[in-house]
Amino acid sequence: MARNRYDVDEVLEDSFDISQLKRLAGYIKPYKKQMTLVIVLMLSASALTMLIPIFFQRIMDFSIPEKDMNSVFLYCGLTFLIALYSAFSLRTKIKHMSVIGQNIVHDLRADIFCHLQKLPFSYYDDRPHGKIQVRVVNYVNSLSDLLSNGIVNTFTDLCNLIFILIFMFIEDVRLTLICLCGLPLLAAVIVFIKRRQRRAWQIQSNKQSNLNAYIAESINGIRVTQSFVREQENTGIFNRLSGNYRSAWMRAVKFNFVLWPSIDIISTLTISFVYVLGIRWILAPSSTLTTGVLIAFTAYISRFWQPINTLAGFYNSLLTAISYLERIFETIDEPVLVKDAPNAALMPPIKGEVRFENVSFSYEEGHKILDSINFTAREGETFAIVGPTGAGKTTIVNLISRFYNVDSGRILIDGTDIAGVTLHSLRTQMGIMMQDSFIFAGTIMDNIRYGNMEATDEEVITAAKTVCAHDFIMEMENGYYTEVNERGTRLSAGQRQLISFARALLASPRILILDEATSSIDTETELLLQKGLNRLLEGRTSFIIAHRLSTIKSADCIMYVDRGAILEKGNHEELMRQKGEYYRLYMSQYDFLSPAKA
């Protein structure tokens, strides 16, 4: 599969998928009551507002000719009351809808985040983190306006339009028909731009995603960038991506420049026709049309185009929203490939026998990394895996924790196929220290406790002592309560390893996995650590991957792998006697270390 990089666009959905909106409606449902209240208030306010032109018509046609000041006061008073009621409805709308909008955005974001927590390593292997981030943050945020005001406004505007039409028909049928002639023209404009505008918004969201991916990558890689003096090139790439985003955005909004002026022209055109014809009809000898009616009618007609304007605006944000919704729901729908089987059992308390039976595995289809591997680690054994870089060592241990599914074959722990047990019951019995140990922002205490949230401070400290981390931790300004930042940049690589090591131990696992756990630790500390560890590892199965062979010399079993195949297996003495790959590797390290040869 091609990797989705920052300079590769994501695939665009072709057809306008209305079901996205239906799904969105599901998020709105919990707030139905409040939204109905707001809509009822807004509708009643706008229905009442419709009466105002009628009041003025009556003032023109009756109050003024009859010099009836009382009715003028009455109509003006009513107008004021209606304005008060409208203001109250508007206030209620703003109050409720901004909260509802944010709630829906929160629910949506929580769903994506929750799903992301479950997605397997393979999902993250395949895409830049920036492209995932942009969905959770930017895309979801962009929906907030649509959700808070868009929906209610659209609903009230649609009803307004109907009200206005009714009142217009009551006032004068002929003038109303003239006004309606503008609609087919508008429909033609919308049909013309619809597809193009939707595509333009999709492209815009893609470019935003690319830009985000690149920014995230650059921040993560800043140290490498500066060491290789690549700042200028990076700025160049950034300018290109940001420029692409800018042009995509401009191309998308360009369609608004077509839509809004079209509405303006069409509305002015119809209003002019209404004036010209209306005045002609008033001046005709046997006219039934009065000046008051014409004035009231023109008041309605300007209100008629106002909701159409907002509806067009809504349509535009809907197109943008759909291009974001597609991505958001795509993430939520991303299948969780590594998950509990339908009737998964609980993994019984692990004794510690791990068996690989004809296990084959590939990260990418057609590119086998492990080819039909068989081996057994016995209960309580220290099992070392050695081999050149890229041989498949990390892959093997990742499969034991079921971070990936095997292509074929089985992995059995105490005879139970791990594919048939819940991930939770499996992983909580393992202590895993990955090759690239991650440190979270927080105290050192919290970072170690990550391995077992129930552990007491004393237990944390004991674990740290076991891995010889206690001394350096105590030397820091606040000891265990020293704050470290994300990725632990203020710690040395070796210190980070020791902390992750303590974290893995704290889980008091039945199976311990140490992937190059001590590669950045000095030999002296490692020797000390080894002693503490030997006591601790008694009775537990542990998998140790290490390049420094002194670390694993005493392992019960050493497996030499290369290119996804097991070449040799046995304890140190047996492998040395074989004089094969392990022997060669050991001798090369020995040669290198031996002062006699230096």
Closest contact distance (angstroms) between CB of 503 and ligand ADP is 20
Contact of residue 125 among Mg ion, ligand ADP, none (CB under 5-8 Å per partner type): ligand ADP
Contact of residue 50 among ligand ADP, Mg ion, none (CB under 5-8 Å per partner type): none
CB-CB contact of 460 with 452 (8 Å): no
Contact of residue 390 among ligand ADP, Mg ion, none (CB under 5-8 Å per partner type): ligand ADP
Q: Which is nearer to ligand ADP, 7 or 364 (CB)?
A: 364
Q: Which is nearer to ligand ADP, 232 or 389 (CB)?
A: 389
Closest contact distance (angstroms) between CB of 394 and Mg ion is 3
Closest contact distance (angstroms) between CB of 396 and ligand ADP is 7
CB-CB contact of 205 with 12 (8 Å): no
In the region spanning residues 315 to 374, those forming contacts with ligand ADP, defined by CB under 6 A, are: 363-364, 369
Which three-class secondary structure state does DSSP give residue 116? helix
Q: Which residues of this chain interact with Mg ion, rule CB under 5 A?
A: 394, 435
User: Following DSSP, what letter does each residue of 206-238 receive, concatenated?
Assistant: HHHHHHHHHHHHHHHTHHHHHHTT-HHHHHHHH
Contact of residue 369 among ligand ADP, Mg ion, none (CB under 5-8 Å per partner type): ligand ADP
394 binds ligand ADP (CB under 6 A): yes
Q: Which is nearer to ligand ADP, 245 or 361 (CB)?
A: 361
Which three-class secondary structure state does DSSP give residue 383? strand
Measured CA to CA, the distance from residue 212 to residue 196 in angstroms comes to 24
Question: What are the phi and psi torsion angles at 36 (to 5°)?
Answer: -65, -40
Closest contact distance (angstroms) between CB of 375 and ligand ADP is 15
In the region spanning residues 364 to 393, those forming contacts with ligand ADP, defined by CB under 6 A, are: 364, 369, 387, 389-393
Q: Which is nearer to ligand ADP, 329 or 404 (CB)?
A: 404
Closest contact distance (angstroms) between CB of 430 and ligand ADP is 18
395 binds ligand ADP (CB under 6 A): yes
Contact of residue 77 among Mg ion, ligand ADP, none (CB under 5-8 Å per partner type): none
Place of tokens 């979270």: 440
Contact of residue 153 among Mg ion, ligand ADP, none (CB under 5-8 Å per partner type): none
Query: How do beta strands 367-377 and 354-364 pair?
Result: antiparallel
Contact of residue 138 among Mg ion, ligand ADP, none (CB under 5-8 Å per partner type): none
Q: Which is nearer to ligand ADP, 138 or 589 (CB)?
A: 589
Closest contact distance (angstroms) between CB of 581 and ligand ADP is 14
Q: Which is nearer to ligand ADP, 220 or 317 (CB)?
A: 220
Beta-bridged to residue 557, according to DSSP, are 383
In the region spanning residues 102 to 131, those forming contacts with ligand ADP, defined by CB under 6 A, are: 125
Which three-class secondary structure state does DSSP give residue 544? strand
Contact of residue 363 among ligand ADP, Mg ion, none (CB under 5-8 Å per partner type): ligand ADP
Q: Which is nearer to Mg ion, 218 or 394 (CB)?
A: 394
How many other C-beta atoms are found inside a 10 Å radius of the C-beta of residue 262?
A: 18
Closest residue to Mg ion, Cβ-based?
Answer: 394
- Give CA separation, 248 vs 17, 128, 251, 329, in Å: 22, 21, 5, 23
Please, which residues have CB within 8 angstroms of residue 354's CB and are 6 or more apart in sequence?
376, 377, 383, 400, 411, 412, 413, 511, 541, 543
Question: What are the phi and psi torsion angles at 548 (to 5°)?
Answer: -80, 110
Contact of residue 395 among ligand ADP, Mg ion, none (CB under 5-8 Å per partner type): ligand ADP
Closest contact distance (angstroms) between CB of 445 and Mg ion is 29
- Secondary structure in 3-state letters for 273-314: HHHHHHHHHHHCCCCCCCHHHHHHHHHHHHHHHHHHHHHHHH
Beta-strand ranges (E) seen in 109-242 are none
Measured CA to CA, the distance from residue 7 to residue 30 in angstroms comes to 40
Q: Which is nearer to ligand ADP, 392 or 509 (CB)?
A: 392
Measured at the CA of 289, the angle between CA 283 and CA 293, to 5 degrees, comes to: 120
Beta-bridged to residue 356, according to DSSP, are 375, 411
Contact of residue 205 among ligand ADP, Mg ion, none (CB under 5-8 Å per partner type): none
The count of residues interacting with ligand ADP (CB under 6 A) is: 12
Contact of residue 392 among Mg ion, ligand ADP, none (CB under 5-8 Å per partner type): ligand ADP
Q: Give the pair of three-digit tokens for residue 37.
A: 């209240």
Place of tokens 């990076």: 234
Closest contact distance (angstroms) between CB of 191 and ligand ADP is 46
Phi-psi region of 364 (alpha: psi -120 to 50; beta: other; left: phi over 0): beta
132 binds ligand ADP (CB under 6 A): no
Closest contact distance (angstroms) between CB of 391 and Mg ion is 8
Half-sphere exposure of 95 (CA within 13 A, CB side): 11
Q: Which is nearer to Mg ion, 147 or 433 (CB)?
A: 433
Measured CA to CA, the distance from residue 257 to residue 596 in angstroms comes to 82
Q: Which is nearer to ligand ADP, 365 or 477 (CB)?
A: 365
Amino acid 269 reads: L
Q: Which is nearer to Mg ion, 107 or 371 (CB)?
A: 371
Q: Which is nearer to ligand ADP, 115 or 127 (CB)?
A: 127
Measured CA to CA, the distance from residue 220 to residue 303 in angstroms comes to 54
Phi-psi region of 449 (alpha: psi -120 to 50; beta: other; left: phi over 0): alpha
User: Interface residues with ligand ADP (CB under 6 A)?
Assistant: 125, 363-364, 369, 387, 389-395
